[in-house]
Structure 1
Amino acid sequence: MLVSERIGQLFLDGDQGRDRLEYTEYGAGDAWVVLLHAQLMPRRMQQPLARALASQGLHVVTLDLLGHGRSDRPADPLVYSMTAFGEQVVALLDHLGAPQAVIGGTSLGANVSLEVAVSAPERVRGLICEMPVLDNALEAGILAFGPILFSARFLPLTIAAVRRLTRPVPRGVVPFWAGIALDTLDQRADSMAALVHGVFFGRIAPSSRQRRAIRVPALVVGHPADPIHPAADAAMLAEELPNGTFVRARSILEWRRDPERLDAEAADFALACWKTPRRSRRAAT
C-alpha cells in the first residue's frame, strides 16, 4: 500500500536563538505516531517502520531532533538535553495540531519518548521504546561515546576528514542502511561535541520512580547481546511501567534486516492504543 510522504519544518525560539527542525509525515488521519531516531543518526532510519505503520492507517511523523539529520546543529552544549528533546516533540505536536500521539523511538529516541510521557503525559497515547538506555548501559555508554567526544573536541580534523569522505557518496546507489551509516558519519566536530557533551553529562532518562508513574500502554523492545542497549534495561523498563509489554528481538539486526514480525507488533500496538478510549483505559489500570 502506497502512502503519502511530506517533508515539513518548524521553528523554535529559545534563549540561544531560533532553531529549525525538519520532519517527514507519512499517511494521514488523527491516529498520530511520532518516531524518533538514535543518537547521531538521522530520522530517515525510521523510514521503513514509518511506512509500515502508515500502510496500516496510522499518521506517522519522523523528526530530526536538534543536532541531528537535517535539523539545525548548534555548537552549544547547553541546548542539548533529554528535557529539551522532549520539549521539541511536544512543540512538533503543537505545530501539527495533534492533541495526542503514540511516541516511540530507538535508543536516544526511546529515552526521549519517556521524557515526553513524564513531562506531558496528556499528550501521550502510548509508548514504543526500542533499546532504552538505562542503568545497565552506563559503562558501555561511556566506552562508546567517550572516544567520540574526545575526538570531536580535541581532534576535530578527524571528524572533518570522515565528513569529506562520506558526503560525496550518492545515497541512492548504496543499500538503505549503508546510506544511514553514511548520514550518521556526516558530522561537524563542534556540533557533535556539543551534542554528545550535553547528553552525556545530563539526565539520561527519567528516574525509576517517574517511570513507574507512567500509566499509558508501552511496548518495550530489547535486543540480546547488545552491550550499549542491554536487554536487561528493556526488560526492567517493561516491568516498571504499569502497562508495559516486553518483546525480545531475535537479534540486534532483526528490526533492520527482517522487520515483518516487529513491524506487526508495533502496528498492532499503536492501532490498539487508538482504538481504546483513553479514559476507559485509565479506569482499568
Structure 2
Amino acid sequence: MLVSERIGQFFLETDSGRDRLEYTEYGAGDAWVVLVHGQLMPRRMHQPLARALAADGLHVVTVDLLGHGRSDRPADPLVYSMTAFGEQVIALLDHLGAPQAVIGGTSLGANVSLEVAVLAPERVKGLIIEMPVLDNAVEAGILAFAPILFAARFLPFTVNAVRRVTRPIPRGIVPFWAGIVLDTLDQRADAMAAVVHGLFFGRVAPSSKQRRAITVPALVVGHPADPIHPAADAAMLAEELPNAEFVQARSILEWRFRPERLDRAAVDFARRCWKSPRRSRRAGA
C-alpha cells in the first residue's frame, strides 16, 4: 500500500547556535511513531520499517539527530549527548504537535528512546528497542569507536577522503542498504569527531534504576552474535522493563534483508500501544 511521504525541518537552540534538524513523515493521523537511527547513520535506514508501519495506518516520523544525515553537523562535542538527543526527539514531538508517540530506534536510537522515556514519560506511548547498548557492550564499543575518534581527530584527511569518494555515487543506482552504507560514510571529520567524542565521554544510557521505572509497553529486539550490541543487553533490558516483551532476531541481518517477521512484530506492537484496529487492505493493494 502506498503512503504519503513528506520531508520537514525544524530548528532548535543549542550551545552552537540555531541548528536545523530534518525529518520525514510517512502516513497521517494521531497514532504517532518516531524512529531514531543508529550512530552516524541517516534516518533513511528506517525507511522500510516506516513504510510498513504507515501502511497499517500509523503516522511515522524518522528524524536525523544533530550531527547525522541531512541535519546540521556542528563541530562542538558539547552539543552531543544521549540526553541532548532525547531532548531533540521531544522537541520534534512539540514541533509536530504530537502529545504522545511510540518511540523506537536501533543502537544509538534505542538508547535515545530510553532517554526520552526517562526525560518525558508522559510523551511516550510505547518503546521499540532494537540492539540497545548497555553494560555488556562497553569493551566492544570502545574497540569499535576509539579508532573512529582517533582517525577523525588526528587523521582527518582519511575521513574527508572517504567522503569525497562516496558522496558523488548516485544512491539510486545501488541497492538500498549499500546506499545506507554510503550515506554513513559521508562524514566530515570535525563533526564526526565531535559526535563520537560527545557520546564517548557522556553516559551511554539511563541507569538500571531509571530503566526499571519505565512502565510503558516495550518491544525489545536482540541479535545473536553481535559483540557491539550483545543479545545479553537486550535480554537484560527486557527483564528490567516491567512491561517488556523480548524478541530474538535470527541474525543481525534479519531485519535488514528479511524483515517480514520483525516488521509484523513492530506493527502489531505499535497498534496495540495505540489500540488501533488494522487498516483494511483492498485486493491487490
TM-score range, shorter chain: over 0.9
Q: Match for residue 110 of structure 1?
A: 110
Q: Match for residue 238 of structure 2?
A: 238
Q: Distance in 1 between matches of 2:95 and 2:34?
A: 13
Question: Which residue identity is paired with 2:57?
Answer: G
Query: Per the alignment, in what secondary structure is the counterpart of residue 91 of structure 1?
Result: helix
Give the Å deviation of 1:16. Answer: 2.2
Give the Å deviation of 1:15. Answer: 2.9
Q: Distance in 1 between matches of 2:160 and 2:4?
A: 36
Q: Does the alignment pair 1:66 with 2:89?
A: no
Q: Match for residue 210 of structure 1?
A: 210
Query: Per the alignment, in what secondary structure is the counterpart of residue 72 of structure 2?
Result: coil
Query: Per the alignment, in what secondary structure is the counterpart of residue 33 of structure 1?
Result: strand
Q: Match for residue 56 of structure 2?
A: 56
Q: Deviations over 1:243-270 (max 9, x none)?
A: 0111000000000000000000000000
Q: Match for residue 130 of structure 2?
A: 130
Q: Distance in 1 between matches of 2:148 and 2:235?
A: 28
Q: Distance in 1 between matches of 2:141 and 2:87?
A: 24
Query: Per the alignment, in what secondary structure is the counterpart of residue 90 of structure 1?
Result: helix
Give the Å deviation of 1:47. Answer: 0.2
Pairs within 5 Å for 1:43-192 = 43-192=43-192
Give the Å deviation of 1:14. Answer: 2.3
Pairs within 5 Å for 1:220-239 = 220-239=220-239
Q: Distance in 1 between matches of 2:13 and 2:161?
A: 33
Question: Which residue identity is paired with 1:23?
Answer: Y
Q: Percent identity?
A: 85
Structure 2 spans left out of the alignment, 5+ residues: 277-285
Q: Match for residue 28 of structure 2?
A: 28
Q: Match for residue 255 of structure 1?
A: 255
Query: Per the alignment, in what secondary structure is the counterpart of residue 104 of structure 1?
Result: strand
Q: Deviations over 1:16-57 (max 9, x none)?
A: 210000000000000000000000000000000000000000
Q: Match for residue 9 of structure 1?
A: 9
* Aligned Cα root-mean-square deviation (Å): 0.6
